[in-house]
Each structure stands twice: as C-alpha cells, then as structure tokens.
Structure 1
Amino acid sequence: MNRTRMTLVAALAALTPLTGHADEIQVAVASNFTSPMRVITEKFERDTGHKVLLSFGSTGKLYAQIRNGAPFSILLAADEQIPVRLEDEGLGVAGSRFTYAIGTLVLWSANDGYVDDQGKVLTDQPYRHLAIANPKTAPYGAAAMATLTKLGLADSVRGKLVQGENIAQTHQFVASGNAELGFVALSQVIESGEIRQGSGWVVPATYHPPIRQDALLLTKGRDNPAAHALLDYLRSAEATEVINAYGYGR
C-alpha cells in the first residue's frame, strides 16, 4: 500500500464513529405516541448512531400493513391485543413483548373553559359534534366508547359522534373546531404536566379498560442490533422520563 493510500485510510478511520456499526430500522408507532416517540428517537439516534424511520397510524392499520409484508422491525401498539395476535401468527418474536406505556384518555376542547373537570359538559352543554377515534381499529376509540357507556351516554350521543381514522385525525377534528370536543390521548394536549391549550377532563382510569400499550420485536427485526437497542432504550430511565412527561404511566 502506497503512502498516499495509507494516509487516506487513516483519515477515514479517524472519522469512524466510536459507537460502532450503525444500523437502520423502521418502526410502526401508534398515533397517540407520536410526540414522545419523536423525542425518544432523537435521543436514541444521538446516543447510539443508529437511524430510526418512524411510521405512524392506528394500531389496526399498522397491523394490516405488517401482515401484508411492511418492512417494520418493531411495533409500538396502542393496545396489548394486536402484539399478542402478531406473536401467535409468527410475525413477532416470542418473549419480546412488554408494556412500554399505559395511556390516558382525556375529553378535550380547543376552547378555554369549555370542558369542566368532571366531564359534565357531555350533558350540560349544547354541542353538535363529539369526536372519537374509530373504536374498531383504535384502542383510544374503544376506551372512549367504554367511557360513554359507563356514563350512560352511549345511545344519546350516537348521532353526534364523528370518527377519526386514528387518534391523530380525531385530535385534528377538535383542534380545527370541526368538533366542539372529543376524546383524545392526554399525550396530544399536555405540556409540562398541564393541558397546553383549551380545556379538558382527564377520564378516570376506572371508566374504561386499561390502555396498555405493548411493544413487540417483529420477525423482520430479529437480527437487527438497532431494533434490540431501541427496545432496551424504551425501558431506560431517559425514555421513561419522556414517557411520563407526556402523561403516560408505566
């Protein structure tokens, strides 16, 4: 090897990251976890050098994409049932599933003072539209319907319901004013521990089944070091701090 080439090799070696070989992964993420996952991904990429490509959607839609061969290495679901199903169908790695967050449902309006702290707005205030996520494909939508049933309002408000395909679209309905209020994820409207805009009622956890959000290593990510590293990172103190800041439990 001549001296010029040796010098070039040495220079390239000096630029090699000390974090080791970097890998790329594609991660399917439930819409409600959009904001915290973007923060976690930024920290993870900075700390590890790995590259994460995020795709957001309702858990039901993401499940369909995975079954149709989408190249995801990890699923961060909005429930626990879909990851179990994927495991049973051989599309998830057995033993890799764990609960990364427990979601919180909130009745929210973009208008200040519109929603009281007990949710009485549902019966005491006139409104035309109440937004919920599709309860057939979005766990937060199912939790919203369970809440309405608990309150004895499922039938009386049925004509006012407008359904978003996922919780992100549901939030948009309310934020845009197309619906006066709606059931969304607390993570979508919280900042520094408080609702950052409008008004809301945090639905008691006893009003609906727990929204346990499970992570699953998919078979396409079985041999990808970045996928294993990200799942480990989701259990770390750094990720937990972000998750809690957005109103989730663990």
Structure 2
Amino acid sequence: MRSVASRCFIVVLGLLFAAPVLAGDVQVAVAANFTAPMKIIAADFEKDTGHKVVLTFGATGRFYAQITNGAPFEVFLSADDDAPKKLEQAGAAVSGSRFTYATGKLALWSAQPGLVDAQGEVLKKGNFRKLAIAAPKLAPYGAAAMETIRQLGLQAALAPKLVTGESIGQAFSFVATGNAEIGFVALSQVVEGGKLRSGSAWLVPDNLHAPIRQDAALLTRGKDNPAARQLMAFLKTNKARAVIRSFGYQP
C-alpha cells in the first residue's frame, strides 16, 4: 500500500512541477491603435492558457523596421496588411500565418464636447489651431487621415495646422492633453461598448480612404513557441472577436 501511495505522490508532484514548464511567454508587437482591446484579449488569453503575453505598443512602420533588423518579437499585430505581407515575403514571418484580425475605423475627435460636428464640417470652418495626425509614413491611420484630407480638398488649408505624432497613440495623446483641439484617431481609442467615451467625434466615411485592414502574423522567431501559436488561434475565437467589436472594429 505504501508503495502505491508513494508512486501516486510522486506522480502528483511531477504534474505540479511540470505545469509551469508547459506555460510560456510570447513577445507581441502591437499597433498602437489596438492597445486597449489587446490588453483585454491578452488578460483573457493568460487566464485561459497560463501563458504570459509581453506586449509592446507602437507605430507599425517602426515595428516593421525593428523586426527586419532582428527584434525579438514572435507575433506581430499590424495596423495594415502590407507590413505583415512584406515580412512573410522576406522570410521574417511564417508563410500562411497571416490573417486580418480587425478592420479599423478612422475618426475625427476632440476632447471638447460639441467642437466636432457629426459631418466633419469643423475641418472646413477651421475654428481650431491644431489638428493632430499620426505620421503617414509610419502609421496606417496617419496615411488614412492624409488621404481623407486630400479627398476633402483641404490639404493646403490644413497643412499649417498639422501636428504629427509618431504613432496613432501619440496623435491621440496630443488631443487628449489639449495640445491639439482636434485630431484624426482610431475609433477604438474613443469608443468602448459602442459609446463615445467623452468629447465629440465624426466617424470618417469609408469612401474617403482605403480600408484599414489590420493583419496579424506569426513571426519566424515564434514558429516553435506554442504560446505564440496559441495566441494566433485565440485571436480568432468568439471571445476575442467580441472584445474587438466592442471597440468599434469589424473583426
């Protein structure tokens, strides 16, 4: 009896010590516009799997350069579909791993209630000093903002008022802190649960800029990491998609 009990005790101990070994870390580069939803998704993923998600947020263009230069990221959540495609072509991302995890929406936002009207006419009236955008060459939302400005024929009129942030996160910060009265931001930064958090906003019509398709890719550094592969799969689950929708994205 003692022998059987001893063997059972050893098995239980083995399982207890093996559990942490099975859990792993995954290094994730996340486009700044997806900061809020990804924090929630990562917490859900960690709770469900035991893996730890290490998140770094920033501009898509900056991440692309860092990844091509050997940055130790294992999963890339881009703000466009171009950067992941180029990484796959260059062998820095696993072939066939790319998919669109969200389609983003652009919004013109002010922290001041009533300043931005529902049709975006404030851009034509010009009753503001500064308009914040993300750097068009680094951030897809910045590129969409510039395309919108051109489509409206306001490039010359608005050029003196533009203040540029490296990422959409920095552009949002300019408006939130009052350094710019209005700015083009990701809808996800100002909406949660389908409601505007504060201030005033205009949802930019889709026909004023190219679709903002945001692709995820499993990077080559993460191809043998079970945590990285499981996170990629988790992004496709109903739980993750519900979070994505709640921030104004189309999964």
Pairs within 5 Å for 1:40-79: 40-79=41-80
> Structure 1: any 5+ residue segments left out of the alignment?
none
Deviation of 1:125 after TM superposition, in Å, equals: 4.4
Deviation of 1:6 after TM superposition, in Å, equals: 7.0
Deviation of 1:245 after TM superposition, in Å, equals: 0.3
Deviation of 1:10 after TM superposition, in Å, equals: 5.3
Q: Does 1:164 align with 2:162?
A: no
Per the alignment, in what secondary structure is the counterpart of residue 157 of structure 1?
helix
Query: Is the contact made by 1:19 and 1:48 (CA closer than 8 Å) also made in structure 2?
Result: no
Structure 2 residue aligned with 1:224: 225
Instruction: Tell me how far apart the structure 2 counterparts of residues 101 and 109 of structure 1 sit (CA, whole Å).
Output: 24
Deviation of 1:83 after TM superposition, in Å, equals: 0.6
Deviation of 1:197 after TM superposition, in Å, equals: 0.7
Structure 1 residue aligned with 2:237: 236
What's the Cα RMSD here? Answer: 2.1
Pairs within 5 Å for 1:175-194: 175-194=176-195
Deviation of 1:51 after TM superposition, in Å, equals: 1.0
Pairs within 5 Å for 1:51-200: 51-200=52-201
Partner amino acid for 1:218?
L
Per the alignment, in what secondary structure is the counterpart of residue 184 of structure 1?
strand
Deviation of 1:130 after TM superposition, in Å, equals: 0.3
Query: Is the contact made by 1:133 and 1:166 (CA closer than 8 Å) also made in structure 2?
Result: yes
Count of matched residue pairs: 249
Instruction: Tell me how far apart the structure 1 counterparts of residues 18 and 11 of structure 2 sit (CA, whole Å).
Output: 14
Q: Stretches of 4+ moved more than 3 A in 1?
A: 5-20
> Structure 2: any 5+ residue segments left out of the alignment?
none
Per the alignment, in what secondary structure is the counterpart of residue 163 of structure 1?
strand
Identity of aligned residues (%): 55
Partner amino acid for 1:132?
I
Q: 1:125 to 1:156 in 2, by over 3 A?
A: closer
What CA deviation, in whole Å up to 9, does each residue of 1:76-115 have, x standing for no partner?
Answer: 0000110111011110111110000000000000001110
Instruction: Tell me how far apart the structure 1 counterparts of residues 107 and 40 of structure 2 sit (CA, whole Å).
Output: 22
Query: Is the contact made by 1:103 and 1:185 (CA closer than 8 Å) also made in structure 2?
Result: yes
Structure 2 residue aligned with 1:26: 27
Deviation of 1:55 after TM superposition, in Å, equals: 0.7
TM-score (norm 1): 0.94
Deviation of 1:20 after TM superposition, in Å, equals: 8.2
Query: Is the contact made by 1:131 and 1:182 (CA closer than 8 Å) also made in structure 2?
Result: yes
